[in-house]
Structure 1
Amino acid sequence: MKTFISLISVLTMFISLPTFAIWQLDNKQSIVSFVSIKKADIAEAHHFDVLEGMIKTNGEAKVTIALASVDSAIEIRDTRLKEMLFKTDLFPSAVMTANISNKFIDELAVGESSELMLQGRLELNGNKKSVQVPTWVTKVSETKLMVVSIKAVIINAKDFGLEEGVQQLQKVASLPSISNAVPVSFVLTFTREK
């Protein structure tokens, strides 16, 4: 009888704790976009179609961007970006990792948003660099979480060994200039089962 009571007590204790389930990225409700600038002041918006990611039970967040899914609205430019800039045959993806503590998520009320400065690391073209990303995190429901960049994160091609690819793009398109600095923004939606 004592063993049964002890078992019930343990189960009750676990039921009363917050549920730390894995949050999965919803690709259809997420987007990572960037802006390229050519000829000094001509800006064009692009995005990636395929994203994967999750927030694990330990708070580790990881988002993988399939670079071959780049969409610039011009097919030949997409091909050049894949081959000359991203070199997707060698580096098929970019990976962003950070930490969003489960305590932070659990303390958000449904419908509430809170600012969070993510301390993360971006891996791109075989190079890794620490980045700070100011975000708004919103608990849309008990099973839906949105993480949105508050302002664009500036990624410089030189930091990731991409300047040669930028120069190749500039040459093949006969452009006087293409900026090495690229603003990147995102809306990431995560879902979990109850």
Structure 2
Amino acid sequence: MLKTLFTGATLLLLSPIALADWSLDNDLSRVSFVSVKKNTIGEAHYFKKIAGELTQSGQFSADIQLASVETLIPIRNERMAQYLFNTKLSPTLKLNADLFEHLKTLKTDQSQLLNIPANITLNGINKTLAIDVLTTQLGNGNIIVSSFMPVIINPADFNLTAGIEKLQALAQLPSITQSVPVSFTLTLQKN
């Protein structure tokens, strides 16, 4: 019994979340994007399931469950998951960034405007983007990271153009935008 308890405690201590100093709060975080159809109709969408962590050494990682896309139209959710994101082969968008230098200067109840190089893995393709973020550490130790400017994603960079064309054909639309602005607010709770 004691050996089982010790083994369980050891596994818990070695799990990635236990090693993280901050964990992403899914309920207080949002990654959203805008699509434009027919050249004039803009629609906002978001992902319902995001997980992530930030270590004391400044390593940030986040996973967005692409099948959790919420467009407020169930059939469109299914079509985006299947045809655009191809979630059976590539279920998550992964983002990694090194924030070590920035964590050293982040002070409680103050905000910093940062330009962060972030590595994004989507549809099996890795790309590094420079992202402008506003970072604030709250009095309770939690950290909020928000996009200061929308991040413009070019679907062709991640081999998503065919998926957009499929969605366009299914919905019988003359056009769907090929540049997608993405915004986010991430709340990291101190462990």
Q: Shared topology, TM-score over 0.5?
A: yes
- For 1:80, the aligned partner's letter is R
Cα displacement (A) at 1:145? 0.3
Q: How does 1:1-194 map to 2 (within 5 A)?
A: 22-101=21-100, 104-193=102-191
SS at match of 2:79: helix
TM (norm. structure 2) is 0.87
SS at match of 1:141: coil
2-structure distance, mates of 1:61, 1:152: 19
Q: Which runs of 5+ in 1 are unaligned?
A: 1-19
Query: Following TM superposition, where does structure 1 have runs of at least 4 consecutive aligned residues deviating by more than 3 angstroms?
Result: none
Cα displacement (A) at 1:100? 1.1
Please tell me whether the aligned partners of residues 108 and 141 of structure 2 are also in contact (alpha carbons under 8 angstroms). Answer: no
Cα displacement (A) at 1:106? 4.4
Cα displacement (A) at 1:21? 6.2
TM (norm. structure 1) is 0.86
Cα displacement (A) at 1:49? 0.4
SS at match of 2:109: coil
SS at match of 2:119: strand
1-structure distance, mates of 2:20, 2:42: 41
2-structure distance, mates of 1:118, 1:104: 9
Cα displacement (A) at 1:190? 0.3
2-structure distance, mates of 1:104, 1:124: 26
Distance change (3 Å), C-alpha of 1:21 and 1:81: closer
Cα offsets for 1:34-91 (capped at 9, x unmatched): 0001111211000000000011232111111000100000000001001110011111
2-structure distance, mates of 1:111, 1:120: 25
Cα displacement (A) at 1:99? 1.3
Cα offsets for 1:1-33 (capped at 9, x unmatched): xxxxxxxxxxxxxxxxxxx96111111110000
- Give the structure with higher Rg (CA): 1
